Structure 1
Amino acid sequence: MTSRKLTTVFWEKGIRDGAWLTWDRIGFACLCSAIGLSLGLAWLLLVPNAFASPNGTVLMDYFSFWLAGRQVLLGAPEIVYNPVEFSALQAEISGSETVFGFFYPPTFQVLLSVFAALPYKAAFAGFVLSTTALLCLSCRLITGNWLLAACLIIVPACANNAFHGQNAALTAALYGFFLVGIERQRLWLAGIALGILTIKPQLGILVPVALIASLNWRTFVSASVTTLAFLLVSVAVLGFGVWQIFWAQAPVASAMMEIGGVEWGKMISVYGSLRQLGLGHIASMAVQAVAGIGALACVWNVWRTSDDMAVRSAVLVGGTLLVTPFALSYDLTLLVIPCAFLIREGLRDGFPPYEKVLLAVVIGLSASTPPLAILLGLPVAPLLPLIILYLGMRRMLSGKAGRHETGEPDHISGTVSA
């Protein structure tokens, strides 16, 4: 075979069709990932390591979560919204100068109090396992297959989220429940999931646009009622004063983003990437606004004209991560949800050209954006949600997205090849 024919075969089978993405290879990669994730968490929590303070506290993001929940049980929840006092508290308990901010609303603090009664490391493990289990259930509802769901929760982004003890598995699970609820016409349940998702408000910026475009008033009302009820529960548990302090310190998060208090290389937003490339705050926010308007337009168009959830989820979730200026690497876990819908549709109806390879790129790079940005100066993170948004738009514009019956999806076949 000539070199030209070899190149043609490689391009068509390797890139265009993604024929090399077989179950054998994917299964082996997932097995290695699962073993690596398990050993990594065991090392992090059970073995002395570089992430531990002198007294053994694991200095990861969950430390601030555990302390926030603990302050609820101790009757002093307002401390977490006072940066000076909260930093001093962390230093006192950990014996380290490394501290973490807490910029989440009091509703999330109430949820964290459920785990705060446990010792720190047990709470860390419990939080990661329970939220990842919810994400697995969400992926199972989407794909109709437990094996595929298990593969999706051990992709690099999920592993990155687990090591940090962050909440992206929880927010991704809630997004999945919301989208499945709409697909199966369980609109009130979809609204409940959406109302709980307000623990991270920046992830819901485009959701009202989607609901209004699709004239989905029941989910809108359900989400509003759930949000109000959740807020009232937090007021009953924490007191109204905590909300006043939360709103008073809210500008701190914006200031931290502007001055680089959170490394721009660890961010995945258009804003963060442009700041790392040397652009100023105002110019970066202007480009961020343009990206946000473009994402909003795509969401409005798709949710107004298409019922296909593979298209809707890809455009909404991809657009969500493009519209917010404040999102970090672990938030790429959210892309698991549109990937689940796209893989389900691809296994059932066939993958469009290049889709499998593009999905593999998104999944493969989902935990690699900080090293690429910080070590190599390549802030590629916004490209990943952009690829997902593109795949959704392409499906709609090409007519690949049909109007499917809602209900339990078919089980996947024994091969990933289209």
Structure 2
Amino acid sequence: MFAETLESVRSQASKRTLYERVVVGALATIFALKIYWFFRWGFRYDQQVPDFAAFHLVAQRIWLGDLDLTYQFAAFMKMQASQPGGATGFMPWTYPPQFDLLLAPLAFLPTWAAYALFTGTTLVAYLMTLRKLAGEHFAQVLVILFPAIAITIGCGQNGFLTGALIGLVCIHAERRQVLAGLALGAMVIKPHLAVAISLYLLANRRWATIAVAAAVVLVSSLVCTLAFGPQTWLAWLGAIKESASLLEQGLYPLFRMISGYAALYNSGVPASGAFWGQATIAGLALAIVVLGIVRAMPSSFTLGIAALVSVMISPYAYDYDLPITGIGLALILPDLPKVASPRERSLMYALLMLAGAYGLLQSTSLASGFDESFKPAIAGAALMVLLAMLLMMMWRNALPATAAEVGAPARVLE
């Protein structure tokens, strides 16, 4: 079966090495081609621009002193349209000021060099973190996550950064709570992706981690206020409100989203119904984490589940956020055969690959200018099915920790 074929990769060191080299080599090739493309033609392709173009534009506006204008959608749209190539696409800016602060140095680099630095650094950090967590399952996770990683390279988004941060939280959650707190606090750049992990830490009374994370958020907020002025926070809050309105009107590219909201809305469910559906999905995702804790399942497995469902909480989640699921998959793979049949594991792997592959197909269609009249949010539907499978699996099976594991660090982190 599909699961057994994928899982056989780890049976021989030579086979694992071969798969790792092939996949990493393919990713490096995609990355190199993107750098060449941006060096040769800049951030445009048939009037479409990658998300990183907005990152670089925001970095430039910081030094021009009008960062708050980037949070005004009409003004930011004009800024993007005025860029070379006259792009017609538009990316609203709703990131917290902390992410602006991170991007600021990129303004001093040419566009292609800024892309290479940001994407290259975060990609390496993500792969190193993933390898640390996955161990002998690294090649298997790479194969399953290949489409999602390729998407993130292509658009230059921050999925590798958030994936690496969540991975660092998982690595240090048991023994080095201060380091885990620093990584968790850094997730302020995309806090909706840290909800499930935060619930796990709270339920397990990791107070030091929570305290350090809160301190990071507070200190970084103060730094941003001093650097950009208090008006930036008001502009950001206004952008959040406007973004919610656009989402309700279906003006985002929902076919690229991976949320239950997108899947429901694109299938004809009214916005209010889709929001309630998303709330239900988020509640079930968090319930799975609590269920793993209540049933005293191994910490690495429950932590992996928390990472896996992180992308299912918010209605605003895209295919480039999928690298986080690789962190969760790496943690649950050692114990997954104990609670899921080969057929169930095959379906789980296929659903994750489908979510990434569909996004890759759609992003390629956008880049080529090919427009389809019917674009369902397949990735969101795939993750809804995956969530149902996880809930059934966790409810049906008990995988209690052994006496040696109780109160001990997660097995894969030792």
TM superposition score category, shorter chain reference: 0.7 to 0.9
Q: Indicate the percent of aligned positions where both proteins have the same amino acid.
A: 22
Give 1:385 deviation, angstroms.
Answer: 6.8
- Tell me the alpha carbon deviations over residues 303-341 of structure 1, each in whole angstroms, 9 at most, x when there is no partner: 344362342233313332222111111111110101111
Structure 1 match to 2:341: 353
Q: 1:163 aligns with which of 154, 157, 172?
A: 154
Structure 1 match to 2:367: none
SS of the residue aligned with 1:94? coil
TM-score after normalising by structure 2: 0.83
Q: 2:357 aligns with which of 356, 362, 368?
A: 368
Q: Any conservation in 2 of the 1:139–1:340 contact (CA below 8 Å)? A: yes
Q: Any conservation in 1 of the 2:23–2:146 contact (CA below 8 Å)? A: yes
Structure 1 segment 285-300 matched on structure 2, within 5 A: 285-300=275-290
Q: Any conservation in 1 of the 2:260–2:384 contact (CA below 8 Å)? A: no
Question: Cα gap change, 1:250/1:391 in structure 2, threshold over 3 Å: closer, same or farther?
Answer: closer
Structure 1 match to 2:168: 177
Give 1:167 deviation, angstroms.
Answer: 0.4
Structure 2 match to 1:106: 97
Which residue type is aligned with residue 22 of structure 1?
V
Structure 2 match to 1:314: 304
SS of the residue aligned with 1:368? helix
Partners in 1 of 2:141 and 2:206 — Cα distance?
A: 31
Structure 2 match to 1:277: 267
- Tell me the alpha carbon deviations over residues 91-147 of structure 1, each in whole angstroms, 9 at most, x when there is no partner: 222231333221101100000113222111111111111111111222233234696
SS of the residue aligned with 1:326? coil
Structure 1 segment 180-259 matched on structure 2, within 5 A: 180-182=171-173, 184-259=174-249
Give 1:226 deviation, angstroms.
Answer: 1.1
- Tell me the alpha carbon deviations over residues 129-184 of structure 1, each in whole angstroms, 9 at most, x when there is no partner: 111111122223323469659947972211111111000110011101111111x3
Question: Cα gap change, 1:149/1:79 in structure 2, threshold over 3 Å: closer, same or farther?
Answer: farther
Structure 2 match to 1:7: none
Structure 1 segment 122-137 matched on structure 2, within 5 A: 122-137=113-128
Q: Any conservation in 1 of the 2:170–2:303 contact (CA below 8 Å)? A: yes
- Tell me the alpha carbon deviations over residues 168-224 of structure 1, each in whole angstroms, 9 at most, x when there is no partner: 110011101111111x32112111111100101211233443233222222111111
Structure 2 match to 1:383: 382
Question: Cα gap change, 1:293/1:407 in structure 2, threshold over 3 Å: closer, same or farther?
Answer: closer
Partners in 2 of 1:39 and 1:383 — Cα distance?
A: 28
SS of the residue aligned with 1:95? coil
Partners in 1 of 2:292 and 2:184 — Cα distance?
A: 19
Q: Any conservation in 2 of the 1:174–1:193 contact (CA below 8 Å)? A: yes
Which residue type is aligned with residue 220 of structure 2?
F
Q: Any conservation in 2 of the 1:179–1:309 contact (CA below 8 Å)? A: no
Partners in 1 of 2:74 and 2:226 — Cα distance?
A: 26
- Tell me the alpha carbon deviations over residues 36-71 of structure 1, each in whole angstroms, 9 at most, x when there is no partner: 4333333333248999538x9982000011111222
Q: 1:261 aligns with which of 251, 258, 264?
A: 251
Q: Any conservation in 1 of the 2:96–2:236 contact (CA below 8 Å)? A: yes
Which residue type is aligned with residue 266 of structure 2?
Q
1:406 aligns with 2:409: yes
Question: Cα gap change, 1:227/1:376 in structure 2, threshold over 3 Å: closer, same or farther?
Answer: closer
Structure 2 match to 1:5: none
- Tell me the alpha carbon deviations over residues 329-367 of structure 1, each in whole angstroms, 9 at most, x when there is no partner: 111111010111123556xx9785326524532443242
- Tell me the alpha carbon deviations over residues 224-269 of structure 1, each in whole angstroms, 9 at most, x when there is no partner: 1111111112112212111111112211111221122212211111
Question: Cα gap change, 1:187/1:389 in structure 2, threshold over 3 Å: closer, same or farther?
Answer: farther
1:118 aligns with 2:109: yes
Question: Cα gap change, 1:390/1:272 in structure 2, threshold over 3 Å: closer, same or farther?
Answer: same
Question: Cα gap change, 1:25/1:386 in structure 2, threshold over 3 Å: closer, same or farther?
Answer: farther
SS of the residue aligned with 1:171? helix
Give 1:20 deviation, angstroms.
Answer: 7.1
Q: Any conservation in 2 of the 1:33–1:154 contact (CA below 8 Å)? A: no
Q: Superposition RMSD on alpha carbons, in Å?
A: 3.4
Partners in 2 of 1:226 and 1:70 — Cα distance?
A: 25
SS of the residue aligned with 1:334? helix
SS of the residue aligned with 2:83? helix
Question: Cα gap change, 1:160/1:27 in structure 2, threshold over 3 Å: closer, same or farther?
Answer: farther
The runs of 5 or more residues in structure 2 that have no matched partner are 364-371
Partners in 2 of 1:68 and 1:19 — Cα distance?
A: 42
Q: Any conservation in 2 of the 1:144–1:410 contact (CA below 8 Å)? A: no
